[in-house]
Amino acid sequence: MKLALIVFAILTSLSLRFGVQESAICRGRPLPITILPGPTMQSIALPLRFGGERPVPLPWVHSFPSKDGFRLVIRNRNEFSDFWQRLTAPIGAGRWVPPVPEVDFSKEMIIVAAMGVRPSPGYAVIIDGACEVDGHVEVFVTSIEEGAKCGPVPGVVTAPADAVRIPQTDLPVVFREIQLSCTEWQNHFMRPNQTLKTWR
């Protein structure tokens, strides 16, 4: 009986592991991912799942003031203006508010992933892949949810978020969620001897 339980546990672990790997494969046409227009910043380069690279989530979309997490597809200027208003709402009266970035919605649309409020810096989310397949677009969102294990800074509340541009389409968008541990996150994204690159 114990042997059967051990074998079952091993098979379950393998199926879950290979299931995660399979879900991260583009079975169609990979789509380019670009960051939103914004201030010139320096950041390490993170690898995208299907080729290419991007920076870490940059201002102003690296944090979103939301109690709950959400995923959002923005296909036009009005939707983007509404999102930007919500994003900048916590900025106090009389303070500088970043202008809405210029995006050509005839060619591009915006994908947003937000985690909601978290109790420490040990959380992160990044959109790191997009693929058109079988009449829909799959967007891959990688996150880490280990909290204090990854960022033991008590009393620091965060609200990690990310937003990118992909080619405009009327196809439905399906989000593929992939969670990593701290070690997996570092092994996947943090390559040795990385240097800072300039992004704009």
Identify the pLDDT of residue 84.
96
Domain count within the chain: 1
Task: Kindly report, residue by residue over 97-138, the tens digit of the pLDDT.
Answer: 999 999 999 999 999 999 999 988 888 999 999 999 999 999
Domain assignment present for 82: yes
Q: Which domain holds residue 44?
A: 33-199
Domain assignment present for 175: yes
Domain assignment present for 2: no
Mean pLDDT of 70-99: 94
Inter-residue long-range contacts of 156-159, CB under 8 Å, 24+ positions, other chains counted:
156/120, 156/121, 157/117, 157/118, 157/119, 157/120, 158/63, 158/117, 158/118, 158/120, 158/121, 158/123, 159/63, 159/64, 159/65, 159/66, 159/114, 159/115, 159/116, 159/117, 159/118
Domain assignment present for 26: no
Domain assignment present for 28: no
Domain assignment present for 60: yes
Domain assignment present for 76: yes
Average pLDDT value for the chain: 84
Domain assignment present for 16: no
